[in-house]
Amino acid sequence: MENKSRRNFVKKLGVSVGAAGLVGGSSLLSSCTQVETASGDTIKLLTSSGELVEVNKAQLKPADMPNLTEQQKRGRKGLPGRKFVMVIDLSKCRNARECMKGCQKHHQLRPEQHHINVLQMQDAEDTAPYYMPKPCQHCDNPPCTKVCPVNATFKREDGIVLIDNERCIGCRFCIAACPYSARVFNWFEPRDAEKYEGVTYNIEANVPQKKGTISKCLFSADRLRDGKLPTCVSSCPNGVYWFGDQNEDAVTNGTTHETVSFSKLVRDNAAYTLMPELGTKPRVYYLPPKDRAFPFQGEIEDHHS
Amino acid sequence: MKIKLLFAALVFLAQQGMAQEWLVPEDQKSVQNPSEYNLDNVKKGKDLYLQSCKSCHGDPGKNNALPLVPPPPDFTSDIMQANTDGELFYKITHGRGGMPQFETTISEDDRWRLVNYIRNFNPENEPVLVEEPPKKAKILASVNEEQRQVEVFAEYQDKDSNYVVLAETPISIGAKKAFGTLPIGQVLTNDEGRAEYHIPESLIGDEQGMVTLVIDLGEGFINEDVVLDAAKVGQPKPTPKLIQKEVLWSTNENIQVWLLLSYLAAVLGAWGTIGYVVFLIFKISRAGKQE
């Protein structure tokens, strides 16, 4: 009994002394690191609320970026309460192709891949040719999402049709289903592939692109989340694009930043949608190419005679 | 080969140089401006300028044109003023490269008024429209949610830097939208510098009908835009459901219940029938053995 208790006592003593040593040591260590951080130099930072603050450099930690699954989840939900709509004024386009350049840079597209493409159009033999930028129409009744066998492409509640390259198996059913030829396939390694190596996939920008999967116009959903206009809209030098929320009935011009009523704009100018007979209900409206500001300079092959 | 290339390059450069000059037909050059150079016409020209030219050419005298190639010249610049009236009119009418044609969008008289406005900045001319330096101004505004109106009081700093009431001045009222401010109306201040603006019933706000209002004085005044935080004066914005679950054989997640149930019923029915047949065969063979 006595032996036992003594042994216990010694044991306890050993443990407690050890523990105290451990605690003391670690506190010493931690105080050392604290001293180190306090002496570091400071850096000026702008917070997300717009305040300029001074922070110790050593205390800086990389911001928590949403991981892949979180991004995929919120990318499927969309922005609450919004219903994005685009209006393209065909009378203003002069084929400057700034929208295409900006888009290809943003979405890591090769020169032959187009989320948005400026086409040369002529509707009938005797009518005037004109330029027509053609992005994805973001149909309210999209034929492409219905044929996807793996639920990789989907329609969001805010009107945008997106594709998840992580799910896409590259069957290209959606390319066949889309009547507007809005989708592209990554046949080759995407542009700047080495620059985007190791970057977390962002479903709202389709970046980094993946070889063997589909990519498509997504109204720059990542920029919309930040409250910015899509890349093509803000890079146009000629005021071709209007973009906004149909629910609040307002669209903003990407060049002049003028905001007008969406319903008035499309009503006054007799706007139309592409291939309405298909019942796809596009979210992209076109204002007719009347009183064009710039002369047509391309060549139109004569397919009418 | 090299000589050929060099020659080709020279020809190309020469063409480029030619293209730099904007040639106007001789008979167009000397056309006289039929529109009289007076305050009325210049003012109208200015309105047109703000509408159609400013987005590229910038504010006159500030050299803040868009950085395009070739650069759009400032209205006060020598390049611009060296043109004859006829040349200016021709260039506005027909456009070239990045400069749009305005033949179809601005009437002939108005294009001549634009030439009047450009000439307002000609050093040889007596300017008829003198821009006063912008005055400092202050706006106080509040929203009356019950009566659905905005009450505004405006004053500006006079020469002796005293604040005095701003009378008979238009104040524009806008509503904040997703990507910009939508102008909804304008109101004139009275002699006491006060104005009341009645908000139209049809104004759309957010899901709760809240609207953020922006009150602004026109150009000619320096003031901070007054932003009135969300007030419940608008219609709640409609948020209709966009997605219907009419996806066919895509994934289980999107399938409609009746389709799933009928599919399962068909599959179970088929397997059940097969099973029943097999069971009957066993039953028959067992009955045969017992005999």
* Cis-peptide into B70, omega within 30 deg: yes
Rounded to the nearest angstrom, the minimum Cα separation between B52 and chain A is 10
Do A243 and B179 make contact, defined as CB atoms within 8 angstroms?
Answer: yes
Do B239 and A155 make contact, defined as CB atoms within 8 angstroms?
Answer: no
Q: Which residue ranges form the domains of chain B, and what is each CATH number? A: 21-119 (1.10.760.10), 135-232 (2.60.40)
Q: pLDDT class for A302, splitting at 50, 70, 90?
A: low
Give the ipTM. 0.74
Q: What is the Cα–Cα distance from A176 to A165, expressed in whole angstroms?
A: 18
Cα nearest neighbour of A291 on chain B: B104
Run of H or E including A286:
strand A284-287
Domain ranges of chain A: 68-287
Report yes or no: A118 and A163 within 8 Å, Cβ to Cβ. no
Q: What is the Cα–Cα distance from A136 to A217, expressed in whole angstroms?
A: 5
Predicted local confidence at residue B65, as pLDDT: 85
Q: List CB contacts (< 8 A) between A167 and chain B.
A: none
pLDDT higher than threshold 90 for residue B268: yes
* 3-class secondary-structure state, position B284: helix
Task: Please state which of the ranges A10-14, A150-154, A284-288, B196-200 shows the lowest mean pLDDT.
Answer: A10-14
Q: List CB contacts (< 8 A) between B249 and chain A.
A: 149
**Cβ of A145 under 8 Å from any chain B Cβ?**
yes
Q: Nearest-CA neighbor of B92 among B73, B106, B71?
A: B106
Q: What is the Cα–Cα distance from B120 to B81, expressed in whole angstroms?
A: 10
Rounded to the nearest angstrom, the minimum Cα separation between A125 and chain B is 23
- The string of pLDDT tens digits covering residues A225-260 is 999 999 999 999 889 999 999 999 999 999 888 999
**Cβ of B239 under 8 Å from any chain A Cβ?**
yes
pLDDT higher than threshold 60 for residue A39: no
pLDDT higher than threshold 90 for residue A54: no
**Cβ of A291 under 8 Å from any chain B Cβ?**
yes
Most confident of A59-68, A71-80, B254-263: A71-80
How large is the average pLDDT for residues A123-131? Answer: 91
Q: pLDDT class for A176, splitting at 50, 70, 90?
A: very high
Q: pLDDT class for B64, splitting at 50, 70, 90?
A: confident
Cα nearest neighbour of A250 on chain B: B177
Interface-testing mutation among A241, A259, A264, with chain B (most B C-beta atoms within 10 A): A259
For chain B, the average pLDDT equals 84
Q: pLDDT class for A41, splitting at 50, 70, 90?
A: confident
Q: Residues of A205-214 as b/e, b for ≥16 C-beta within 10 angstroms?
A: bbbbbbeebb
Predicted local confidence at residue A101, as pLDDT: 95
User: B272, exposed or middle or buried, with CB in 10 Å at 0-12, 13-18, 19+?
Assistant: exposed
Predicted local confidence at residue A113, as pLDDT: 95
Predicted local confidence at residue A100, as pLDDT: 96
Pick B247's closest partner by Cβ from A145, A248, A249: A145
How large is the average pLDDT for residues A159-182? Answer: 94
Q: List CB contacts (< 8 A) between B176 and chain A.
A: none
Predicted local confidence at residue B148, as pLDDT: 87
Q: What is the Cα–Cα distance from A230 to B34, expressed in whole angstroms?
A: 45
CA A152 vs CA A162, B54, B286: distances in Å? 8, 45, 53
For chain A, the average pLDDT equals 85
How large is the average pLDDT for residues A30-50? Answer: 59
Task: Please state which of the ranges A71-80, A124-133, A162-171, A246-255 shows the lowest mean pLDDT.
Answer: A71-80
Q: What percent of chain B has pLDDT over 70?
A: 89
Going by C-beta distance under 8 Å and a sequence separation of 6 or more, which residues neighbour residue A226?
none
**Cβ of A297 under 8 Å from any chain B Cβ?**
no
Do A259 and B183 make contact, defined as CB atoms within 8 angstroms?
Answer: yes
Residue predicted with more confidence, B157 or A300:
B157
Rounded to the nearest angstrom, the minimum Cα separation between A67 and chain B is 23
Q: pLDDT class for A164, splitting at 50, 70, 90?
A: very high
* 3-class secondary-structure state, position A179: coil
Predicted local confidence at residue A1, as pLDDT: 44
Q: pLDDT class for A72, splitting at 50, 70, 90?
A: confident
Predicted local confidence at residue A168, as pLDDT: 94
pLDDT higher than threshold 60 for residue A10: no
How large is the average pLDDT for residues A194-206? Answer: 90
Task: Please state which of the ranges A107-116, A272-281, B145-154 shows the lowest mean pLDDT.
Answer: B145-154
Rounded to the nearest angstrom, the minimum Cα separation between B243 and chain A is 6
Predicted local confidence at residue B242, as pLDDT: 79
- The string of pLDDT tens digits covering residues B165-211 is 888 888 999 999 999 999 999 999 998 889 999 999 889 988 888 99
How large is the average pLDDT for residues B6-13? Answer: 51
Predicted local confidence at residue B5, as pLDDT: 52
Q: pLDDT class for B256, splitting at 50, 70, 90?
A: confident
pLDDT higher than threshold 80 for residue B14: no
Name which CATH class applies to A68-287. alpha beta
How large is the average pLDDT for residues B209-219? Answer: 87
Report yes or no: B172 and B185 within 8 Å, Cβ to Cβ. yes
- The string of pLDDT tens digits covering residues B112-162 is 999 999 998 888 888 887 777 788 888 888 898 888 889 999 888 888 888
- The string of pLDDT tens digits covering residues B98-113 is 888 888 888 999 999 9
Q: What is the Cα–Cα distance from A161 to A140, expressed in whole angstroms?
A: 9
